[in-house]
Amino acid sequence: MKEIIAMHGWAGGEGQWSNWINSFQSSHWTWQSADRAYRNSSPSMPNWTNTLHSKEFIRVAICHSLGSHLIANKVLSQATHIVFVNSFSSFLPSGKESRSIIVALNGMIQAIGTDKENSMLLKFHIKAHKPNKFNRKSNEFTYLNLSDSGRLRLQDDLKLLLKTNSLPIGLTTNAEVLVINSTQDYILPEVSKKQLIKDLTIYLESPPTVIEIKEEGHTLSKNTVIERVKYWLESNHASELV
């Protein structure tokens, strides 16, 4: 059995996985999406449908950005494979470089719930999609129009991002890990990408596989990466069955 639980990042939503779902389900994968529910009142965190320890079962956690720290510890601990998409162990660089980032993030926290909220979110998503275009009209329902309870979660999650300083809790040493990094990411500092790879290399029994994606930003806009992730999972699983 092949199943996936996906967790979006800050200000994201389960709708961002639609192309991934279509691709994986067409190859007979079971897909569930966790959701922090920034736009409605009910967050969801799926559980694995099968937790048997057998090489025939593959449980994949796909986490975008802060999603690796938002996903339930239990889900992460039972995953056989983990895909980190533009993720991090610590978001903030060390030293003086972090000062301007901290100021900007605190400004975003303060904008939530004010008349500056939508413009702040729009600016963030445009930057997150860069160098690709963010289509506001088609994405407005997915990324804007927060609920009251969603605003609180959005603020709490941004505060969590500021505090991140280690690998996600629940990550096991024997998990097979793929790291996807976009080469034109205008959100995640380059030093934070390198720190994640360094931390994973030290922690894991087997070093992570790292793939760099050209012409993509923090939020993936194209479908080519989906096939590369699928190929890695399928080939990795096949080698374990031999």
Task: Encode pLDDT of 12-53 as tens digits.
Answer: 999 899 999 999 999 999 999 999 999 987 899 999 998 877
Position 142 in a domain: no
Cβ burial, residue 56 (10 Å; 0-12/13-18/19+):
exposed
Range of the domain at 79: 2-93+161-241
Task: Look up tokens 């694995």; give the residue.
Answer: 48
Count of structural domains within the chain: 1
pLDDT at 172 over 80: yes
Position 178 in a domain: yes
Residue 242's pLDDT is what? 39
Distance CA 209, CA 79 (A): 16
Position 179 in a domain: yes
Position 139 in a domain: no
Q: Residue 201's pLDDT band (boundaries 50, 70, 90)?
A: very high
Residue 158's pLDDT is what? 98
Task: Quick: pLDDT tens for 69-95.
Answer: 999 999 999 999 999 999 999 999 988
Residue 140's pLDDT is what? 62
Task: Quick: pLDDT tens for 226-236.
Answer: 999 999 998 87
Position 102 in a domain: no
Position 21 in a domain: yes
86 and 64 in contact (C-beta within 8 Å)?
yes
pTM score, whole prediction: 0.95
- pLDDT, greater one: 54 or 240: 54
Position 228 in a domain: yes
Report the share of the chain in percent with pLDDT over 90.
Answer: 82
Cβ burial, residue 13 (10 Å; 0-12/13-18/19+):
buried
Position 57 in a domain: yes
Distance CA 121, CA 208 (A): 32
Give the CATH number for residue 56. Answer: 3.40.50.1820
Task: Quick: pLDDT tens for 97-126.
Answer: 899 999 999 999 999 999 999 999 999 999
Residue 236's pLDDT is what? 74
